[in-house]
Amino acid sequence: MTPLQHALDLAARGIATFPMTAGKAPLAGSHAVKDASTDPARLAELFAHPRATLVAIATGTPSGVSVLDVDRQHGGLSWWESNRHRLPSTWAWRTRRGGLHVAMRHRQSLRTVELDKIGKGIEIRSTGASAIYWPCTGLPILCADAPAAWPEWLLPPPKAAWTPPAATPWAGDDHRARAYGMAALRRAVERMAIAAPGTRNATLNRETFGLLRLTSTGGLHAGEIAEAMAHAAIAAGLDRREIEATLRSALSARRAA
């Protein structure tokens, strides 16, 4: 079977895929996991690239399966031998370097976990990540059973909540500018807290950039703007990494304006 045929076979089972090169790199000009699809016409277009050698599964929400990656080179087989009896019979295949990819049904609470965080040589691939479907290169499927439920004991603990650092209290003397600034800040926080999915980063950037104009009047200072907008972004569902990156971008853009 060609890589495209494997991708089409997976698509028929609701598994979204995208192509990678033989070196496990995204194709030049591609958007990697964001390109993943189950549409036959789209897959034919993606896999028409001459370097489309490997089939990568978009794990998590796009495909409904997450993957337990047992990395042989980092000692994952020891963990596997100790814990395999606790795992259900489920879809699994051999990897190029002698490890395992064990696919189970995705759970909304399941997040990607980096190598060695839950066990030596073990990684969890969930939404936003991917896993190579090595049978597309001739490596064996070790178990063809339907993906089983992800076991409770293998759920990673939730990330610790993040609280933005407190800003220095305002110490200006222009109370009219202060009242105007605080009113603008309240409105911006309200808009951020109810921003719809897909618009949250842009809303955070836009509202923060707009508020930073008021630092020149003395009504607000950058620290309190960042603190308030970060709390609103947390309420909207953004994580720390997204919030910090967006706030840095807004602050940099304002300084350059």
If the chain, 257 residues long, is cut into consecutive pieces of 10 residues, what is the mean pLDDT of each piece? 97 97 91 94 96 97 97 95 96 97 93 90 94 98 97 83 77 89 94 86 93 89 92 86 90 73
For residue 99, give the nearest of 125, 78, 73 by alpha carbon: 73
The helix (H) or strand (E) run that includes residue 104 is strand 100-105
pLDDT value for 159: 66
In order, the DSSP letters of 27-86 are PTT--GGGG-B--HHHHHHHTTSTT--EEEEE-BTTTTEEEEEE-GGGTHHHHHHHHGGG
pLDDT value for 160: 64
Strands (E), 110-165: 122-125, 130-132, 141-143, 148-149
pLDDT value for 157: 77
The residues, any chain, with a CB within 8 Å of residue 247's CB and separated by 6 or more, are 204, 208, 226, 229, 230
With H, G, I as helix, E, B as strand and everything else as coil, classify residue 122.
Answer: strand
Half-sphere exposure in the Cβ direction for 248 (13 Å, CA): 6
CA–CA separation, 218 vs 213, rounded Å? 10
CA–CA separation, 7 vs 55, rounded Å? 6
CA–CA separation, 206 vs 197, rounded Å? 15
pLDDT value for 66: 97
pLDDT value for 168: 82
By residue count, the chain amounts to 257
CA–CA separation, 221 vs 216, rounded Å? 8
